[in-house]
């Protein structure tokens, strides 16, 4: 393994029914004015909104609502939240929702304490913000692991870019299984594939010799695959749901990345696809992964073969590493189809888009098997159609 320094700032409250007591305990540590951030209103339909506002009022907080955060949060929405935070002297941000809400608030927290436009700060001046409004997250939709780190994916519609920005880490995260039981099954499967994608993008990074981080990762990936199947059999199984919630957190809390140089090329391609189409993130990843892997496996054949046997359970028998690697990629594609995820962009309703523009604006990464060119990314996108 490579050298590393590991420090983890997020306190996690995990389990069934942990939300109320954990929020009461944590909110007492912060000031009165709370920015209560959420998405399109599903938390109101399922009673979560009433529970959270009751807790906030009982702990003496003044509530400033920041609602309507979309599934692919825009930079304009970030700026709206930052203005709200500044105008109301917000002491604390409570993000209630999935990865989009949680990501948006990380950058709101930073922008509210920064006079410089944060996109320009990070991408032009190449500096990072260092002052933040403290935050807590209540996860109602999982898969992104967004509550576990300080990175956010934000769509800048003016620049036609869906890109990473770096903001604040959460002081605490509440992972209460009861708050996720209203997720539609299709959303559970989509989010869980995002978790699997995070794991694979880390696993196929370097070094590729057997190491503890990757062996833990193999266990997480097997767990996700098993519990995605179990979810389809019984969507109301809270044990299965709790396993997927924790797997999502494990995918992004840094444990699997210790000593690794990660890849995330599939994510970079999907992000730009999302910038042009506003598509579902997990669905896009499901289409891209098998096609991408067929393009790059020969640069890490032994690792893909190992993935096939240890994660997907394919027996070696007389197969060469090349045959085994391909069998693993085919098994991944079959699993994607089995759980009802799309296998082509056309199945997502994407039929008319400028793939060349997407390819040319995609960030290329060198952490995996090979660094792709824009032409190679275009070829991958065309094959995904």
pLDDT in the model for residue 245: 98
Q: Is 244 exposed, middle or buried (0-12, 13-18, 19+ CB in 10 A)?
A: buried
**Three-state DSSP class for residue 222:** helix
d(CA 237, CA 228): 11
CB distance 98 to 138 below 8 Å: no
- Global pTM reads 0.96
- Three-state DSSP class for residue 279: coil
Coarse DSSP helix, strand, coil percentages of the chain, rounded to the nearest 5 percent: 55, 10, 35
Supply the pLDDT for residue 235. Answer: 97
**Among 137, 125, 93, 96, which Cα is nearest to 112's?**
93
Residue 176: partners with Cβ closer than 8 Å, 6 or more residues away: 13, 15, 16, 17, 18, 19, 138, 139
Q: Name the percent of the chain lying above pLDDT 70.
A: 100
Q: What is the DSSP letter of 282?
A: H
End-to-end CA distance of the chain: 38
Residues 39-69 as b/e (b if ≥16 CB within 10 A, e otherwise) read beebbeeeebbebbbebbeebebeebebeeb
Instruction: Please list, in sequence order, all residues whose beta carbon lies within 8 angstroms of the beta carbon of residue 317, skipping any fewer than 6 positions away.
Output: none
Sign of CA dihedral 190, 194, 197, 203: negative
The confidence score (pLDDT) of residue 251 equals 97
The pLDDT, as a whole number, for residue 35 is 98
Show the tokens assigned to 75: 């930079």
Q: Which two tokens stand for residue 218?
A: 């193999």
Full set of structural domains in the chain with CATH: 11-180 (3.40.50.1970), 185-384 (1.20.1090.10)
Residue 113 carries which DSSP code? T
Question: What is the Cα–Cα distance from 332 to 326, expressed in whole angstroms?
Answer: 10
Confidence (pLDDT) at 253: 96
- 26 membership: H or E segment, kind and range: helix 19-27
Q: Which residues of the chain have pLDDT under 70?
A: none
Cα 32 from chain centre: 30
pLDDT of residue 368: 72
* Cis before 219? omega within 30: no
Tokens of 10: 């997020």
Instruction: Give dist(CA 375, CA 262) in Å, integer.
Output: 22
**Residue 261 gets which letter from DSSP?**
B
Tokens of 99: 């990865």
Instruction: Give me the pLDDT at residue 7, please.
Output: 81
**How far is it, in rounded angstroms, from Cα 19 to Cα 7?**
25
Q: Cα 273 to chain center, whole Å? A: 16
Q: Which helix (H) or strand (E) holds 79?
A: helix 75-87
Which run of H or E residues covers position 312? Answer: none
**If you ran DSSP here, which 8-state letter would residue 178 be given?**
G
**125 burial via Cβ count (<10 Å: 0-12, 13-18, 19+):** exposed
């Amino acid at each position: 393994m490579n050298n590393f320094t590991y420090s983890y700032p997020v306190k996690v409250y995990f389990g069934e029914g942990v939300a109320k007591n954990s929020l009461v305990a944590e909110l007492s540590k912060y000031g009165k004015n709370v920015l209560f951030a959420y998405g399109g209103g599903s938390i109101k339909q399922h009673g979560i909104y009433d529970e959270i506002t009751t807790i906030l009022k009982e702990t003496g907080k003044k509530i400033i609502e920041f609602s309507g955060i979309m599934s692919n949060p825009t930079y304009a929405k970030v700026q709206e939240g930052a203005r709200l935070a500044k105008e109301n002297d917000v002491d604390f941000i409570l993000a209630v929702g999935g990865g989009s809400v949680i990501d948006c608030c990380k950058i709101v927290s930073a922008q509210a304490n920064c006079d410089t436009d944060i996109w320009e700060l990070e991408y032009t001046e190449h500096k990072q913000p260092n002052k933040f409004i403290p935050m807590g997250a209540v996860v109602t939709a999982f898969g992104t692991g967004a509550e576990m780190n300080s990175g956010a994916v934000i769509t800048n519609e003016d620049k036609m870019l869906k890109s990473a920005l770096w903001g604040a880490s959460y002081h605490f995260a509440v992972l209460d299984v009861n708050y996720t039981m209203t997720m539609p099954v299709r959303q559970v499967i989509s989010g869980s594939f995002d978790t699997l994608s995070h794991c694979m993008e880390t696993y196929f990074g370097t070094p590729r010799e057997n190491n503890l981080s990757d062996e833990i990762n193999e266990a997480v990936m097997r767990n996700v695959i098993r519990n995605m199947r179990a979810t389809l059999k019984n969507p109301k199984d809270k044990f299965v749901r709790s396993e997927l919630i924790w797997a999502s957190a494990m995918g992004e809390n840094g444990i699997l990345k210790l000593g690794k140089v990660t890849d995330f090329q599939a994510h970079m391609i999907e992000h730009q696809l999302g910038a042009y189409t506003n598509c579902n993130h997990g669905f896009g990843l499901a289409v891209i992964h098998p096609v991408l892997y067929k393009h790059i496996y020969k640069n890490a054949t032994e690792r893909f073969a190992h993935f096939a046997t240890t994660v997907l359970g394919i027996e070696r028998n007389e197969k060469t590493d090349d045959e085994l690697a391909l069998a693993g990629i085919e098994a991944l594609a079959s699993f994607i189809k089995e759980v009802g995820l799309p296998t082509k962009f056309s199945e997502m309703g994407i039929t008319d888009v400028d793939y060349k523009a997407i390819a040319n604006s995609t960030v290329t990464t060198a952490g995996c098997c090979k660094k792709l060119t824009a032409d190679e990314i275009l070829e991958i996108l065309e094959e995904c159609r």
